[in-house]
Amino acid sequence: MNLKAAQDTRSEAQVAARLSHIRIVLINTSHPGNIGASARAMKVMGLQHLHLVTPKNFPCAEATAMASGADDLLERAVLHDSLESALDGCSLVLGTSARMRSLPMPQMDLRSAAKSALSEHEGQHIAIIFGQERAGLTNDEIHRCHQLVHVDTNPDYSSLNLSQAVQVMAYELRMAVIGGAGNTIAPSDWVPVDAGQMEMFFVHLEQTLLDIKFMNPEQPKRLMARMRRLFNRARPDQNEINILRGILTATQQTAQKHDN
Amino acid sequence: MNLKAAQDTRSEAQVAARLSHIRIVLINTSHPGNIGASARAMKVMGLQHLHLVTPKNFPCAEATAMASGADDLLERAVLHDSLESALDGCSLVLGTSARMRSLPMPQMDLRSAAKSALSEHEGQHIAIIFGQERAGLTNDEIHRCHQLVHVDTNPDYSSLNLSQAVQVMAYELRMAVIGGAGNTIAPSDWVPVDAGQMEMFFVHLEQTLLDIKFMNPEQPKRLMARMRRLFNRARPDQNEINILRGILTATQQTAQKHDN
């Protein structure tokens, strides 16, 4: 092995290490060929972790054929029966969308999103989620996201194929690594909690809003959707979640005393 | 049509105009599905001109199926029996390659190549050529190029599918027009409230935390400092502040009922 090859190997190991905390999550994928093509798109850019939520027809020969040598990623793909399980341990969830939404969310362009994903703290897991081919992300899925990533496309024809969307995302992630980008620096003592903790917080919040009769269970409207958007934007750390849940518990105790 | 839509249309016409001098040239393509997927990849990013040099099996139903609504690009695709004819009138020819070559050529990365393609003189035609799926560009084809464009990939697996290569090229060309990063879009209905409103919210929050006895007035510690950091990070808008203050009022009313 000559020096050039040795250097290439070393630097690719470094690229892989920088990308190893990122998982690509495909939800309800209809066409197994798209799963295979996505695995290929990931591997070619150095991404490793594919998670599949309730895919139709998987495993499947068509997926393996389209993976074309990236079948090791398919074999190691983690199957989930819920999005919640796929997001386990993730402190940042990015949702990809080419459409505008009725309840607008903070939207980043792809390049900025890739840079921000790379600038997360060491050891933090990040999920980038892609919805079903035709429908895209549902509102419930979007409410699990901290931010939406908008892929700029021709407004007259924004029909970006799923594996092509994965390809440009994977490409920008690789560029963010090899371009030395990622200049956004988070405060050193701020490590956002994972998605599971956020869900427990939202369950607690909803119950408390019912307890104090702020929320009408017959007419919940979009209250929790709005609360999700607000608190996902804030991305609380462990200390902050502890305080928030302490406030909720104290509020519930106050309400119970009143009821007794 | 509202003003926002009118602006979008106008700017897309500008994007299309900036990209209109660029042709994508696919040489000896084996799989018609790749031609269709490439047409889709182009159209979604606003590219219009597809040129095909001696494709196998074209026109073909599989190409049309994979084009998925970009079939107008296929219909207008120009067929050539030689690369020379496909490059007619082009002042700049860029060849794409994921492989290193024994014969050293000037190589640009994709992003720089896209920028340089956009900075050509007005009225100059530019060809970006893609070789046959397995073999890539032949030496003869490479010798027609002014520059090679190198797509950085995992050196252990550089098997970038043809239509995926077209997709990232088309994406970078579009980014070169619209300006790439820094286009993070705040939701249209999200206008953070001013500092005065935030102060009123923090006063209300502090009083409520005292009312439910979560906060000890003798030992407030850094509780409000932490709440400030959290909610200032979230930057609530008017609607969200109204909800938050509504929750605080409902909490206070619950606490008062208990005291009475």
Dihedrals φ, ψ of B195, to 5°?
-60, -35
Are residues A107 and B226, on separate chains, in Cβ contact within 8 Å? no
Q: Which residue has the higher pLDDT, B181 or B116?
A: B116
CA distance A144 to chain B (A): 16
The amino acid that residue A76 corresponds to is: R
CB pairs under 8 A between A and B: 183
With cut-offs at 50, 70 and 90, classify the pLDDT of residue B259.
Answer: low
With cut-offs at 50, 70 and 90, classify the pLDDT of residue B184.
Answer: low
pLDDT tens across the length of chain A (260 residues): 333 344 445 588 889 999 999 999 999 999 999 999 999 999 999 999 999 999 999 999 999 999 999 999 999 999 999 999 999 988 889 999 766 555 566 778 899 999 888 887 667 899 999 999 998 999 889 888 888 898 889 989 988 999 999 999 999 999 999 874 333 445 566 788 888 899 999 999 999 999 999 999 998 878 998 999 899 888 899 999 999 999 999 999 999 886 65
Q: Which of B41, B153, B258 is closest, CB to CB, to A254? A: B258
pLDDT tens readout for residues B238-251:
999 999 999 999 99
* Burial (CB count within 10 angstroms: exposed 0-12, middle 13-18, buried 19+), residue B2: exposed
DSSP string computed for B19-83? HTTEEEEEES-S-HHHHHHHHHHHHHTT--EEEEES-SS-S-HHHHHHHTT-HHHHHTPEEESSH
pLDDT at A260: 57
Rounded alpha-carbon distances, angstroms, from residue B180 to A5, B48, B114, B171, B184: 32, 20, 11, 10, 10
With cut-offs at 50, 70 and 90, classify the pLDDT of residue B159.
Answer: confident
Q: Identify the three-state secondary structure at position B129.
A: strand
pLDDT at B3: 36
Q: Does residue B38 surpass a pLDDT of 50?
A: yes
Q: Which residue has the higher pLDDT, A214 or B9?
A: A214
- Domain boundaries defined on chain B: 12-178, 195-259
CB contact B156 to A (< 8 Å): yes
With cut-offs at 50, 70 and 90, classify the pLDDT of residue B2.
Answer: very low
Closest-CA residue in chain A for B153? A45
pLDDT at A123: 73
pLDDT at A83: 96
pLDDT at B175: 92
CB contact A230 to B (< 8 Å): yes
For A200, the enclosing helix (H) or strand (E) is helix A195-211
A residues 117-146 near B, CB within 8 Å? none
Nearest to A226 by CA among A105, A91, A136: A105
Q: Which two tokens stand for residue B197?
A: 């409103």
CATH number of A195-259: 1.10.8.590
CB B231 within 8 A of CB B198: yes
For domain A3-178, which architecture applies?
3-Layer(aba) Sandwich (3.40)
pLDDT at A36: 97
CB contact B163 to A (< 8 Å): yes
Q: Which residue has the higher pLDDT, B99 or A232?
A: A232
Interface with B, mutate which of A1, A7, A43, A171 (most B CBs under 10 A)? A171
ipTM summary value: 0.75
Nearest to A149 by CA among A105, A109, A99, A103: A109
- What residues in B contact A107, CB-CB < 8 Å? 184-187
CB A182 within 8 A of CB A118: yes
Nearest to B101 by CA among B156, B160, B162, B148: B148
pLDDT at A182: 35
CA atoms within a 13 Å half-sphere pointing along the CA-CB vector of A1: 8
Q: Does residue B176 surpass a pLDDT of 70?
A: yes
- What residues in B contact A254, CB-CB < 8 Å? 212-213, 251, 254-255, 258
Closest-CA residue in chain B for A213? B250
CB contact B220 to A (< 8 Å): no
Q: Which residue has the higher pLDDT, B86 or B125?
A: B86
Cα distance between residue B133 and residue B177, in whole Å: 28
pLDDT at B6: 39
Q: Which residue has the higher pLDDT, A145 or B50?
A: B50
Are residues B250 and A43, on separate chains, in Cβ contact within 8 Å? no
At the topology level of CATH, where does B12-178 sit?
Answer: Alpha/beta knot (3.40.1280)
What is the reported pTM?
Answer: 0.79
Closest-CA residue in chain B for A233? B234
pLDDT at A184: 42
Are residues A45 and B153, on separate chains, in Cβ contact within 8 Å? yes
pLDDT at A192: 84
Q: Which residues contact A114 (CB under 8 A, 6 or more apart)?
A: A169, A172, A173, A175, A176, A181
Mean pLDDT of B35-47: 97
CB contact A157 to B (< 8 Å): yes
CA distance B84 to chain A (A): 30
Dihedrals φ, ψ of A50, to 5°?
-110, 130
